[in-house]
Amino acid sequence: MSSPTNIRWLAILAIIGAALILFIIDSTGNSAQLVRILLDPVAEVSALISRPTDALADTLSGPRSLQEALVEIEEMRQRVDALEQENERLREVEGEYNLLLSLFDYANETPQNERVVAGVIGRDSSPLFESIIIDKGTSDGVQVGMPVDSERGLVGQVFRTTPDSALVLLISDTSSSVPARMSESRATGLIHGGGSSENLRMDWIPLEAEVAVGDVVLTSGLIGQFDQGILVGRFPKGLIIGRVASVERSDAEILQRALIQTDVNFDDLELVFVITDFPKEDITPFENPLENP
């Protein structure tokens, strides 16, 4: 093949190759960039080289970018704090809901007793009384002598009232007396406070009664019982008081005593029930047996 023929074929192949390259570049969307390179190759090469340098400069761009980053961090911290506070509020609402649910579940077990839910708003600062203050009073139907309980057990009795509040004498107070019965032995007695929830005791238990540690102690519902000449306040039958923690007995005596552990934490009470009414018999003619008929 002659030299002119070779040149012709090489030219044809070069044209075909160039066309293929242009076709590929066009199909990938880079034809405009190719045109810019052809028109001003120096400027395009310079821009290509400067891009990594510009990116690095932006990254290390001094106080303005650092300040913006600090502002963003502070905003994010504030959002996190707000979310944590919201979570705390939700947990508080959930706790109140669960407490109310447990209270009403407990109330449903004894539908014969009418109750008013009251919030604990204070504790008596007097060293002479173990008591709490609730946010329900005579305007809510609360009267002196009404029993007060919770989902964990008996709390005490209403001692004083105002139209919008009441003072509740706790069963842990030394002047408190509650007629009680043990669930297993069926022995009866009187619950007295010892000045704290850890010192409840049950007195006047017959010596022949077989009292066992762990036995559940409930209000007996007995009426007309006297304690040192005073008629004991009336409580509905079956309210939980606590469990027998230990027993004190002596064959030389005709009675025995038991120490009672209550599940009620009087220091952490938030909501309680005031039992405004419960089934009972009229014993008013017998409340002062020392008087002549």
Average pLDDT over residues 266-283: 84
**Where does residue 43 rank: exposed (0-12), middle (13-18), buried (19+ CB within 10 A)?**
exposed
Extract the tokens encoding 292: 């002549």
Q: State residue 43's pLDDT score.
A: 56
In this prediction, residue 96 carries a pLDDT of 66
pLDDT tens for 165-177 read 999 999 999 888 8
The lowest-confidence range among 85-89, 209-213, 242-246, 275-279 is: 85-89
Of 33 and 74, the structure prediction assigns the larger pLDDT to 74
With contact defined as beta carbons under 8 Å apart, do 124 and 106 qualify?
no
Could you tell me which residue, 282 or 74, shows the higher pLDDT? 74
Domain ranges (residues) in the chain: 3-59, 114-279
* pLDDT of 159 higher than 50: yes
The dihedral through the CA atoms of 65, 67, 70, 72 has a sign that is negative
What would the two tokens of residue 181 be? 């019965």
Mean pLDDT over 49-75 rounds to 64
Residue 231: pLDDT over 50: no
Mean of pLDDT values over 237-259: 89
The mean pLDDT value of the chain amounts to 78
Query: Is residue 230 over pLDDT 50?
Result: no
pLDDT above 80 for 58: no
3-state secondary structure of 169: strand
Helix (H) or strand (E) holding 156: strand 153-161
Question: pLDDT tens digits for 100-157?
Answer: 666 666 667 778 889 999 999 998 777 778 999 999 999 999 999 999 999 889 999 9
**Could you give the percent of the chain with pLDDT greater than 90?**
34
CATH placement of domain 114-279? 2.40.10.340
- Residue with token string 């139209």: 163
For the residues of 187-248, what is the DSSP string, one character each? -EEEEE--SSGGGEEEEEEETTS---TT-EEEE----S-EETTEEPPP--TT-EEEEEEEEE
Question: Do residues 274 and 133 touch, judged by C-beta distance below 8 A?
Answer: no
Q: Tell me the C-alpha distance between 34 and 14, whole Å.
A: 18
Q: Residue 147 and residue 119: Cα distance in Å, rounded?
A: 15
Closest by CA to 161, choosing from 177, 146, 176, 150, is 146
Q: Which two tokens stand for residue 279?
A: 């089934």
Residue range 252-266: average pLDDT?
90
Up-side HSE of residue 282: CA atoms within 13 Å toward CB? 1
Q: Max alpha carbon distance in the chain (Å)?
A: 156
pLDDT at 182 over 80: yes
Q: Would you state the torsion angle of the CA atoms of residues 232, 188, 192, 155, taken in this order, to the nearest 10 degrees?
A: -80
* pLDDT the model gives residue 126: 73
Q: Is the pLDDT confidence value at 39 over 60?
A: no
pLDDT attached to residue 36: 60
- Between CA 236 and CA 239 the distance in angstroms is 7
Please report where in the chains the tokens 């704290």 appear, as a residue. 196
